[in-house]
């Protein structure tokens, strides 16, 4: 996985000058539509890392929806923006797309991958959340691509690091 959010086509292995094996752009059967979605997702990630919540919200369609782990659904760009008011100096959200699919009409598709969120708790200790995400993209009538749905789920805690369920 890549650390940070940099355009996928620029990711090179510094020793071999080849794209890393897990880079989805290196798939031999990658269609131009999927490549476009992966590049959109990488740009979305790059801008969010630099600009925080305001940049994150700017990518959503007016009627978009977010579904995040254990939180109520948020509908509409205005509501998404209200909940995404984080400063990139205090919270860094990074993700890497690992795959995508384009619909047959070429105006809707989805990408998925892994994310990491980095912040500090009240005591100044590093806190990292990690998980998986899926982003559904739609092309608007003016040709601009926007996020229609963004959903995420946190990775389960490592064995022994979390709660134990009671035995029935």
Residue 143 domain-assigned? yes
How do residues 19-71 score in pLDDT, each as one tens digit? 444 566 556 678 999 999 999 999 999 999 999 999 999 999 999 999 998 89
Is 19 inside a domain boundary?
yes
Residue 160 belongs to some domain of the structure: no
Give domain status of residue 113, yes or no: yes
The answer to whether residue 104 sits within a structural domain is yes
The structural domain count of the chain equals 1
Where is pLDDT greater, at 85 or 4?
85
CATH number of the domain at 109, please. 3.10.450.50
Is residue 3 assigned to a domain? no
At 69 the pLDDT is 85
Tell me the DSSP string of 102-134: E-TTSSEEEEEEEEEEEEE-TTS-EEEEEEEEE
Asked whether residue 23 is domain-assigned, the answer is yes
- Per the structure, the complete domain to which residue 73 belongs is given by 8-154
pLDDT tens, residue by residue, 104-154: 999 999 999 999 999 999 999 999 999 999 999 999 999 999 999 999 999
pLDDT above 70 as % of the chain: 76
CA distance 128 to 151: 18
């Amino acid at each position: 996985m890549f650390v940070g959010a940099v355009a996928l086509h620029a990711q090179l292995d510094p020793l071999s000058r080849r794209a890393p094996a897990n880079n989805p752009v290196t798939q031999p059967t990658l269609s131009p539509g999927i490549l476009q979605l992966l590049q959109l997702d990488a740009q979305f990630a790059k801008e969010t890392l630099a600009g925080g919540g305001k940049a994150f919200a700017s990518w959503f369609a007016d009627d978009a929806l977010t579904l995040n782990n254990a939180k109520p659904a948020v509908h509409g760009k205005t509501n998404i923006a209200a909940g995404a008011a984080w400063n990139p100096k205090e919270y860094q959200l990074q993700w890497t797309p690992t795959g995508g699919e384009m619909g047959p009409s070429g105006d809707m598709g989805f990408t998925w991958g892994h994310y990491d969120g980095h912040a500090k708790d009240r005591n100044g200790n590093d806190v990292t959340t990690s998980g998986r995400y899926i982003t559904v993209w739609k092309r608007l009538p003016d040709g601009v691509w926007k996020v229609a749905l963004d959903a995420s789920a946190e990775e389960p805690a490592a064995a022994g690091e979390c709660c134990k369920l009671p035995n029935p």
